[in-house]
Structure 1
Amino acid sequence: MSTESGKRDKAAIRRAFDAAAETYDAAAVLQHEVGRRMLDRLDFIRLQPQRILDIGAGTGHATAALRKRYRKANVVAFDLSTAMLAHSRRHGSWLRPVPAVCGDAEALPFADRSVDLIFSSATFQWCADLDRLFEECQRVLRPDGLLMFSTFGPDTLKELRESWSDADGYRHVNRFVDMHDIGDALVSARFADPVMDMEYFNMTYASAGDLMRDLKAIGAQTVTGGRVPGLTGRARLQRMVDAYDRYRDSDGRLPATWEIVYGHAWATDRMPQRRDEQTGAVTVSLDAFRSSLKGGD
């Protein structure tokens, strides 16, 4: 399942998050709260992982919490941004440095069946192809390993999206994938017992400019799209600001809706596969194939 985020330039996303590494934590109030709520959900799951992969680790808050919760586990911080990972390493010590790996979640540089828990908070919306993403998660998870994640749903930043549309008729804010479609993608990737739910958060701002500055501070300005040729930037921006004003509440604040989608599912004993982007050919691990033959005897 390709998402509209597939139209984004991964290099541009990496640059945006590299640039936001110093400002992220001060502005990422919502992201940190979502991460805490995800960690709380682990209280209800019986799992003693030996190796944990934190996809989209960012500045490392969840990575540090996972290391504290599972003290005997090897927790790896994984992110597209090297600057973010530099911050995540600061949560370690000379006795327990934080292993950090830079890369793309749609092509995980980890061995088949090598991870017990994949944890990912507010990251999967940056991935272009959910099917490929979940195939990769299935591949690196051991059988009965857990995938737990959160991402953004279609109502996220709906006020900003509609205000930009009113301003110039163009779509400047990405559309996010519906919870039910995400669940279908998990089933397609042969995850077992997927559980999906969602909740809304409403942030308020004094001005549309404050919202835009917060998005830039967390590296998410790419959700507002690129420059539209032939239109004057300042005039277009003012029209958006004027359109956003219709949402102002009785306290004089402007709302920004965030739809948070939560999901978790269990890996199966499906043979790990790799798909070639250019040819579409599927490669099956020989060790996994041999293992499956032994299991069938």
Structure 2
Amino acid sequence: MNTQDVFDHRQVRRAFSRAAGSYSAAAALQREIESRLFESLDYLGDQVPTSILDLGSGPGTGALELRRRWPKARVVAMDLALPMLRQVAPKRGWNPLQRPIDRVCADARALPLADDSVDLIFSNLCLQWVEDLDALFVGFRRVLRPGGLLLVSTFGPDTLHELRASFAAADAADHVSPFPAIAAFGDALMRAGFRDPVLDRDVDVHRHADMAGLMRGLRELGATNALAARRRALTGRGRFAAAQTAYEQWRGEDGLLPATWETITAMAWAPAHGQPIREGGEDVARFPASGIPVRRRGGG
């Protein structure tokens, strides 16, 4: 693990691997946000992608819908957790008229895909586990063909602010991940050279009987504390009780505790070859090797 990492990515993999069996039943919010992303696919118009990446695919609901829309396209379901990918299966068995979904276990930070090989990158609630958005978007731009569509969602900084503040009142250690603001997310897209970015922000509030129920639901989703600087010992009963007491200030008239989820969705288009990208404080332009003219000298 790099000492500069915000997240312990091995812990991210372990948490989502353990949650593979419970994720689908617990992922109501994730499915709702996924449906919002699907609505944005209308911006493709008559374009028919031939190669699609569902990044952070989880149990594959997005990949299955993408293949339903474009049955002739190659759809790649990619996830960091292998047990999640084992959940990716057709709802009604194998169909000889549809291409199978390719499953790839890989890290979003190092996409094992060729340059200019993808028409659409679709990613629902995966990017909040990556600390370096600039490097991530450089990788996206590398694999997207010019004019390809990037369609993603992530969580914003107001997410679980009640839980964050409650633990802060009881414990100096961080318990809730940091999330990028919508401005930072958009700036990273622009630095990577993406065209015409459109970003939206939504806030959903879910309600729970108690903090223990909220924490249990987070574990079922794989959304546990994966911060590199987290305390490795279990949270003691005293600290947990203090956090529960602090959370009570938000209990509503309905008798339930709110949990806020701020969602950022973004859509942007890959630029043509040669448009500069910001790397290491300098503008760098890339061109495909096939686009470099070769002059042949006559032989004697």
What is the TM-score with the length of structure 2 in the denominator?
0.87
Q: Please tell me the residue identity of whatever aligns with 1:87.
A: Q
Quote the residue 1:115 is aligned against: 118
Q: Is 1:93 matched up with 2:87?
A: no
Matched, 1:126 2:140: no
CA distance in 1, matches of 2:225, 2:116: 33
Equivalent of 2:157, from 154, 158, 169? 154
Contact 2:7 2:130 in 1 (8 A): no
One of 200, 203, 213 as aligned partner of 2:203: 200
Contact 1:140 1:272 in 2 (8 A): no
Equivalence for 2:72: 72
2:262 to 238, 259, 264: 259
Matched, 1:142 2:145: yes
C-alpha contact (below 8 Å) 1:89/1:100 kept by paired residues: no
**DSSP-derived class of the 2:100 partner:** coil
Q: Aligned pair 1:184/2:187, yes or no?
A: yes
- Pair 1:219–1:293, CA change in 2 (3 A): farther
**Counterpart secondary structure, 1:159:** helix
Gaps of 5+ in 2: 277-283, 295-300
Query: Normalized per residue, which structure has more helix?
Result: 1
SS across alignment from 1:221: coil
Alpha-carbon distance in 1 for matches of 2:208, 2:226: 18
CA RMSD after TM alignment: 2.9
1:277 corresponds in structure 2 to none
2:241 paired residue number: 238
Does the CA contact (< 8 Å) of 1:89 and 1:99 recur in 2? no
Residue 66 of structure 1 aligns with an amino acid whose one-letter code is L
- Distance in 1 (CA, whole Å) between partners of 2:160 and 2:235 is 23
The whole-number CA distance in structure 1 between the counterparts of 2:228 and 2:253 is 30
Aligned residues: 286
Letter in 1 for 2:169: D
Identity rate, percent: 44
**Residue pairs, 1:250-289, within 5 angstroms:** 250-270=253-273, 288-289=288-289
Mapped partners of 1:223, 1:54: distance in 2: 23
- The one-character-per-residue Cα deviations of 1:207-231 (angstroms, maximum 9, x if unpaired) are 0000000000010012688753799
CA distance in 2, matches of 1:56, 1:232: 29
How many angstroms apart in 2 are the aligned matches of 1:10 and 1:113? 27
Question: What residue is the counterpart of 1:102 in the other structure?
Answer: 105
List runs of 5+ in structure 1 lacking aligned partners. 274-282
Over 3 Å counting, the alpha-carbon distance change for 1:155 and 1:292 in structure 2 is farther
- The Cα offsets for residues 155-214 of structure 1, whole Å up to 9 and x where unpaired, read as 000000000001123321111000111111011001111111111000000000000000
